[in-house]
Amino acid sequence: MPIDALLFDKDGTLFDFGATWNTWAGRVLLELGGNDSDRAQDMAATLRYDWDAQAFFPDSFVIAGTNGEVAEALAPHVPQMSAAEVERFLAERAGEADLSPAVPLAPFLDGLTTRGKTLGVMTNDSELSARSQLTRAGVLDRFAFVAGFDSGHGEKPDPDPLLAFCTAVDVAPDRTAMVGDSAHDLIAGRAAGMTTIGVLTGPASAADLAPLADVVLPDIGHIPTWLAR
């Protein structure tokens, strides 16, 4: 079946995960810990974040998790804040992250829309953070659908938010591709009946993604060539 629509994950897909989030996480943990490095390192251990290397371990749940899950994990270390307050703090700080697009996004996305493709974003980050980052990258208007874990459609790896995209843009799942860097993305795509495209701009390796993907590409920039195959 031809692909008429593409639904993108955000972190590790549209934006390189490590370049965007690794250093940011160290700064945010230190701020949450009141500049106490011992508290920050305790939180880092909870999140499976390598404090010395300032990078997430590949098995960190943060990579595919929601802001809510991260906030619940951090809340016991931040007694002056509720989990809901930690979640809001993370969403606000995420909107300030130094973004590192996987490829120059505007020309890439414009090339897809010129080919008649409908585009969307579904992230396990908050919708507020996603819209803020896409606005800062100058590409929010390229997407017909933007959803986060808190948008009311559910979260990956459940297929419901992916199917919500198909409903919103009136494209059948079997004519849609889910593009992502994690197993959560591809599991959701398979469950929704979509083509699954894995990319290597997140922590997962090709070996991790291959069993769940119809194709694994170095980054999203290779998608047009693959579509034209």
Q: Name the band, by pLDDT with cuts 50, 70 and 90, for residue 129.
A: confident
What DSSP designation does 101 have?
Answer: B
Token readout for 202 is: 């997140």
If one counts every other C-beta atom within 10 angstroms of the C-beta of residue 54, the result is 15
Question: What's the whole-number mean pLDDT along residues 30-48?
Answer: 95
* pLDDT per position as a tens digit, 139-198: 999 999 999 999 999 999 999 999 999 999 999 999 999 999 999 999 999 999 999 999
What CA–CA distance (Å, rounded) separates 123 from 139? 16
Q: Name the band, by pLDDT with cuts 50, 70 and 90, for residue 84.
A: very high
Domains of the chain from N-terminus onward: 5-16+101-227 (3.40.50.1000), 18-94 (no CATH)
Q: What is the mean pLDDT of the chain?
A: 95
* pLDDT per position as a tens digit, 212-221: 999 999 999 9
Residue 1 scores a pLDDT above 80: no
Q: Name the band, by pLDDT with cuts 50, 70 and 90, for residue 6.
A: very high
Q: Name the band, by pLDDT with cuts 50, 70 and 90, for residue 94.
A: confident
If one counts every other C-beta atom within 10 angstroms of the C-beta of residue 219, the result is 17
Question: What's the whole-number mean pLDDT along residues 18-23?
Answer: 92
pLDDT number for residue 218? 98
Q: What percent of the chain lies above the pLDDT cut of 90?
A: 90
If one counts every other C-beta atom within 10 angstroms of the C-beta of residue 170, the result is 10
Q: Name the band, by pLDDT with cuts 50, 70 and 90, for residue 26.
A: very high
pLDDT number for residue 96? 80
Dihedrals phi, psi of 20, to nearest 5 degrees:
-85, -40
pLDDT number for residue 67? 86
What CA–CA distance (Å, rounded) separates 11 from 203? 10
